[in-house]
Structure 1
Amino acid sequence: MIFSRKQAGDGRRGRDKRATEVLDGRDAEEAVPERGPYDVSEAPDGVERLDLGSLHIPAVADVEVRVQADPQGVIQQVVLVHGESALQLGVFAAPRSEGIWDEVREEIRHSLVNDGATVEEAQGEYGPELHAQVRTPDGLTDLRFVGIDGPRWMVRGVYQGVAATAPAAVGVLRECLDGLVVDRGQEAKPVREPLPLRLPREVTDQAGEGDRPVEA
């Protein structure tokens, strides 16, 4: 299923650093980040977003939101596509006291290396990230892994295509990531458990009628 809007006419450390840039004599814990991903408690109003449960994705011109969901509307995968670049998104439960991207990143690196991939760590705008080249049935594929720790959650993004090898060319996909909103909920969850993602009810009903792409 595809949602699209057509055009008309370091981990938590990096996130906290952005928050301190907008401090005005206030304590850092009270600062609202200049950009996201945002927790639902601090998200700016007046922005059109696609509500997928734990993730609310801003509507950005010419970005397609591609989702794979089961018959009950539970989403298995979310990928944003713009031109020759794509961004796969995942959101996971994390402890209240500390972020998990450092640990998760190391596990991803080990897994990729064990599978024969070439991996290197680099410093990106959100903090440490991984650049990998993996072998697929279609040949070598470049991937770029980013992670952002928030309050009791972590967003993981995997860039593919041009944005994987040329971060400066990420374009409006950065706008999507910066405008992302996470609704963690209050329910206790095991650390690293994926937070639930679901199609909006009206979309599920419309898809059931014809199982066709939907524009939002």
Structure 2
Amino acid sequence: MALFKRRGKTAADSETPAPDGTGSDASAPDATDETTAAADATAADEPAAGSAGSARRGPWDLADADERPGRVDLGALRIPGIQGMQLRMELDRTSKAVIAANVSLGQSTLQLQVFAAPRTAGIWDDIRPQISASITAQGGEVKEMPGPWGTELLALLPVKDASGKTGRVPARFLGVDGPRWFLRGILRGAALVDQNQRAIMERYFSEVVVVRGSEPRPPSELLTLTMPGQATRPVPTPGQPAAVDDILTRGPEISEVR
């Protein structure tokens, strides 16, 4: 599967289910039930424009964000620091550069990645069909649904556990086009079936701040993420954004509990 162009592959982690809904989890709830519940809950929302910093909510561009204390600086992202949350930074297998931030709250997990986008147009409308086609080709299911940030994807992602048993895990793909950037969130876990968990994770996503920077970047290039408190490290293979293959596998992770 290919979300954008092919990037260096990442190593799969067999101990913990992937936060983006693609890792193995033999004890995962029934996928069909979760997807139906999530679809009903999402459809009840009044669709809003899939753009940053709307009157309703973020995510925010740095220029529009308030100076709220407690945000964790991850380079191209600044995320809320909440007591009890677990932050896992996903690393590229070869270069060890950070490629994604995975935030766990309770039984829900949100993967965050941010990409460069053209100055004049967003890229979410172009990316969604690619994701849908790729997931379907791998034996999964996906459909578009209205959501708080406009159109989103509700998917059943094909997975295989350590024993080789195959299954499908539900996930929500959220997309927000900002000024010269695109933020993608992949939500899984209890937030797909529990209204309170859903509200918590959507509120969290809405408080994310993107730090695009002024340097020119090709559209769809992964913006540089860093470990908390560390200097910037280059993203592997400049100009080559994350692949959908990497939705189904993930790299090594470094965890931080707050």
Query: TM-score normalized by structure 1?
Result: 0.76
1:99 and 2:127 equivalent? no
The match for 2:198 is: 170
Q: Which amino acid aligns with 1:18?
A: S
The match for 2:221 is: 193
Change (3 A) 1:16 1:173: closer
CA–CA distance in structure 2, aligned partners of residues 104 and 143 of structure 1 = 16
Give 1 or 2: higher helix fraction: 1
CA shift, 1:165, in A, is 4.7
Secondary structure of the residue aligned to 1:119 is strand
Q: Which amino acid aligns with 2:98?
A: I
8 Å Cα contact 2:108/2:191 also seen in 1: yes
Identity of aligned residues (%): 36
CA shift, 1:171, in A, is 3.6
Secondary structure of the residue aligned to 1:41 is helix
Secondary structure of the residue aligned to 1:188 is coil
1:15 and 2:51 equivalent? yes
Which digits, 9 at most, give the CA deviation of each residue in 1:84-133, with x for residues without a partner?
21111110000111111011111101111111111111101111011111
The match for 2:31 is: none
The match for 2:80 is: 58
Residues 42-191 of structure 1 aligned to structure 2 (within 5 Å)? 42-69=64-91, 74-138=97-161, 139-165=167-193, 169-191=197-219
Give 1 or 2: higher strand fraction: 1
Q: Which moved more, 1:164-173 or 1:147-156?
A: 164-173
Change (3 A) 1:11 1:146: farther
The match for 2:26 is: none
Q: Which amino acid aligns with 1:189?
A: R
Larger RCO (CA under 8 A, 6+ residues apart): 2
Structure index of larger Rg:
1
Change (3 A) 1:213 1:168: closer
8 Å Cα contact 2:88/2:255 also seen in 1: no
The match for 2:244 is: none
CA–CA distance in structure 1, aligned partners of residues 106 and 257 of structure 2 = 17
Q: Which amino acid aligns with 2:192?
A: A
Change (3 A) 1:177 1:16: closer
Unaligned runs of 5+ in 2: 1-45, 162-166, 233-252
What do you get for the CA RMSD once the two structures are aligned? 2.9
Secondary structure of the residue aligned to 1:13 is coil
Secondary structure of the residue aligned to 2:64 is coil
- Residue correspondences, number: 187
Secondary structure of the residue aligned to 2:182 is strand
CA–CA distance in structure 1, aligned partners of residues 53 and 224 of structure 2 = 28
CA–CA distance in structure 1, aligned partners of residues 158 and 255 of structure 2 = 30
